[in-house]
Structure 1
Amino acid sequence: MEHINKNRLFLASCLALITTAMTFAIRARLETVFGPEGVGLTLEQLGYAFAPAFFGFTIAMIIGGPLVDLLGIKKITWMAFVTHAVGIVLTLMADSMTSLFVATLCIGIGNGMVEAALNPMVASLYSTEKTKMLNRFHVWFPGGIVIGAVLGWLIMDVMGLSWQVMVATLFVPLIIYGVLFFGQNMPITERVQLGISNKKMFLSVFKPLFLFMVFCMLLTAASELGTTQRIESLLKESVAAPLLVLAFINGIMALGRLFAGKVVHRLKPSGMLLYSAILTFIGLWLLTLASGGMVFAAAAVFAVGVTFFWPTMLGFVAEYLPETGALGLSIMGGAGMFSVSIVLPIMGNLMDTGSAGEALRTMSILPAILIAAFVGLNIYMKKYKTVTTQHV
């Protein structure tokens, strides 16, 4: 059996996710560069220009999921590296809505390929503690956003350098993760290890429980990323440096995911999701009312709410629906990003024609629906556990 360096692969995976996450923070800062006070795009046009970051991600994950099993994790990882590199170069050259759209599409595809390859790889490397290690891997999504947000603030707001310098910082984690992955053996996916056929995998994604989780993923991702991606526009009237609020939110998220193992043990995935939805709803409502320093207090509640959404949704599917394989994880991630691509222009329109407080109130509808959904999931999982125990 080929030697697999778990620690090096996990570190490389984290750096690939940092690259992905930094693009989100940097894109949020580019709102003011390309927006009404800069290049002159309306907030709705910016929504359309940035939307391919999310539907490009979706396309890559839906295509990449089945290809991970067919071509192997290594090839999909290198596809991510190449499309990331091309996307960064094209972003540096962007000067209009169209060129920004194309650049963002490439980066979105790169980001999707990272998740398509590396979520199943982490699940395969740590098959006995999937939810814990997926949370630990996803520490570096908020962690990378903190890095990108602080760098963007330092480079543009403190040092007064150009936005191109900020975008060029993405080459640092890109090159490092490329070097770390180079020449490494990678595991086969868990679905292949278990010998589950393609037919069974494709049929399993039509199970009612899986479809329910896909529906919930649409709402959890939009609640989290729809809000944080438009943080500059949402909070520019409420606080002096919205990008620091973004860093603050993601700092809390990173810490929460780092210690997710204890929370998973106590609450189980379905319990974590219910508490997350409740706090997200409260946090969004508080953000509609807060100004000045109180924005950070409201943002803290929101941050605790959204901390466990993404990795726990993936962990739930990996744990309770393993037969869906890499395809299941890819559909989940793809659905999440697709929903954000729909929400961004809608939020832009609400802000163009109304106000940021109105946009936040509209967004709070999503976690309200999730509270009801996850109450139902908790009831179902108690019955599921009872039936499973009886059959053991």
Structure 2
Amino acid sequence: MITIERNKLFWASCLALLVTALSFGIRAGIMNKLGTDFSLTTEQLSVITAAAFWGFPLAIVIGGFVVDIIGMKKLLVMAFVFHLAGICLTVFATGYWTLFISTLLIGIANGTVEAACNPLVASLFTGNKTTKLNHFHLWFPGGIVIGTLLVLALNYINIGWQVQVAVMIIPTLIYGYLFYTLDFPVTERVASGYSTADMYKATLSPLFIFMFICMFGTAVTELFTGQWIDVLLKNVTGNPILILTLTTGVMVIGRGFAGPIVHRFSPQGVLLMSAIVAAVGLYLLSTLTGNSIFFAAFIFGVGVCYFWPTMIGFVAEYIPRSGALGLNLMGGAGMFAVSVYSIFMGKYYDGLVLKHLPAGKLASAEAINTAKSLAGPEVLRLTLVIPIILIIGFTGLNFYMRSKKIKQAAAVKVNAV
């Protein structure tokens, strides 16, 4: 007899997402060290970073197509194997290609975790999906906080980046054991009786396509800025990694209190407010310097706090027939957009640094630092265009959902008469 231990499955999912987040937080903290140790350019570092975002959409989209067939448990055992392999290869990396392959493997593991855990959480909590997805996804910024603080602490006592990466093996082994021993439910779509044809039809609906496109913008605004904060603002403030720690700390608290906020303002209302605050925060990050930049980081953290889980929660709530495929296509869209944007911006950043260097002579260390301090905020100002576009899009979404609700209420009233 199958016994579904809902709380154990939820906490095992949170632990798996913690490993995903640690990979982001630790990598963000050691990015400059990797560049120095292996003599890598910013463009090469951007390609390595993007590898995680390539592996993620690849795994999450494929997982979306097969999760109903092979089950969520097998996907999560695969995630464990990929995580373990990627972490070990990173620890023993010898240069650009081993770092690229190891990051790609970790990206595949991260995508596989989301491919299984998003539909798992939605299946475990069918009556409270958006709130529980926010609670689940608070472990992503939470893991980044833990990862960045871990990097700072271990750097302070001169522990190498290899040991910092190896720390991730411990939670990986724990979540792998838990998922291997627990029983799993079927996905919500299968339990509800929606056919595969219903699922594909739902993912081709105008509302889903609109949310799919918006996911590009919400993911880039949140994840590109977070992953590149150490590089972009290294010469603007003495502790750029603390900016990421503060931002993600705000996100943890915000997602923990998501329930009353989502119920009060609706998912689409939360998305609109998030886009407005994120735009303000990104503008402040690109203009303020010194200690005042931590205020900007706080505002930005409030802005991006609800983006990812509420985008997925909106689809789970309002387009349920899209099933696990719909949730995973959303995640894949977000990570793919970040991978492309990271490569483009890595090259753009290098170009800006060269533009700001003195012409016709060998640049001093001071001149290079000055050029970098000018280039980083310029990248953020260009990225600011994205949340501004999202404000327009989410305003339209709110009007659409409001009119749809009015029409449904009118139809119910007519039928009652």
TM-score (norm 1): 0.98
Deviation per CA, 1:76-119, whole angstroms, max 9, x where unpaired? 11111111111101111222221111111100000000000000
CA apart distance, 1:39: 1.8
SS at match of 1:161: coil
1:88 matches 2:108:
no
Contact 1:350 1:358 (8 Å CA) reproduced: no
Contact 1:317 1:329 (8 Å CA) reproduced: yes
CA apart distance, 1:183: 1.5
SS at match of 2:37: coil
1:380 matches 2:400:
yes
Q: Where does residue 248 of structure 1 map in the other structure?
A: 246
Q: Which region of structure 1 is more displaced relative to structure 2, 72-81 or 240-249? A: 240-249
Q: Where does residue 371 of structure 1 map in the other structure?
A: 391
Q: Where does residue 112 of structure 1 map in the other structure?
A: 111
Q: Where does residue 188 of structure 2 map in the other structure?
A: 190
SS at match of 2:38: coil
Deviation per CA, 1:10-32, whole angstroms, max 9, x where unpaired? 11000000000000011112311
Of structures 1 and 2, the larger Rg is shown by: 2
Give, in whole Å, the separation in 1 of the partners of 2:162 and 2:144: 18
- Give the letter aligned to residue 366 of structure 1: I
1:173 matches 2:193:
no
Give, in whole Å, the separation in 1 of the partners of 2:23 and 2:162: 13
Q: Where does residue 23 of structure 2 map in the other structure?
A: 23
Q: Where does residue 304 of structure 1 map in the other structure?
A: 302
- Give the letter aligned to residue 118 of structure 1: C
Give, in whole Å, the separation in 1 of the partners of 2:203 and 2:91: 39
Q: Which region of structure 1 is more displaced relative to structure 2, 88-97 or 270-279? A: 88-97
CA apart distance, 1:389: 2.3
CA apart distance, 1:132: 0.5
Give, in whole Å, the separation in 2 of the partners of 1:96 and 1:170: 21
CA apart distance, 1:288: 1.1
Contact 2:202 2:321 (8 Å CA) reproduced: yes
SS at match of 2:290: coil
Question: RMSD between aligned alpha carbons?
Answer: 1.0
- Give the letter aligned to residue 125 of structure 2: Y
Give, in whole Å, the separation in 1 of the partners of 2:5 and 2:31: 40
Q: Where does residue 100 of structure 2 map in the other structure?
A: 101
Contact 2:130 2:317 (8 Å CA) reproduced: yes
Alignment of 1:42-61 (within 5 A): 42-61=41-60
Give, in whole Å, the separation in 2 of the partners of 1:319 and 1:135: 13
Contact 2:30 2:151 (8 Å CA) reproduced: no
Alignment of 1:1-392 (within 5 A): 2-35=2-35, 37-156=36-155, 158-354=156-352, 355-392=375-412
CA apart distance, 1:300: 0.5
Structure 1 portions without partners, runs of 5+: none
CA apart distance, 1:41: 1.1
CA apart distance, 1:45: 1.2
CA apart distance, 1:384: 1.3
CA apart distance, 1:34: 2.2
Give, in whole Å, the separation in 1 of the partners of 2:115 and 2:47: 24
CA apart distance, 1:295: 1.1
Give, in whole Å, the separation in 1 of the partners of 2:405 and 2:96: 51
Contact 2:54 2:339 (8 Å CA) reproduced: yes
Count of residues in correspondence between the two structures = 390
Deviation per CA, 1:344-386, whole angstroms, max 9, x where unpaired? 1222123212100110001101001000000000000001111
Deviation per CA, 1:132-184, whole angstroms, max 9, x where unpaired? 0000000100000001111011112x111111010001012111212222311
Structure 2 portions without partners, runs of 5+: 353-374, 413-417
Give, in whole Å, the separation in 2 of the partners of 1:326 and 1:205: 11
SS at match of 1:3: coil
Contact 1:350 1:356 (8 Å CA) reproduced: no
Give, in whole Å, the separation in 1 of the partners of 2:384 and 2:123: 36
Contact 1:135 1:260 (8 Å CA) reproduced: yes
Give, in whole Å, the separation in 2 of the partners of 1:242 and 1:154: 15
CA apart distance, 1:221: 0.1
Identity, % of aligned pairs?
50
Q: Which region of structure 1 is more displaced relative to structure 2, 197-206 or 125-134? A: 197-206
- Give the letter aligned to residue 252 of structure 1: V
Give, in whole Å, the separation in 1 of the partners of 2:69 and 2:404: 32
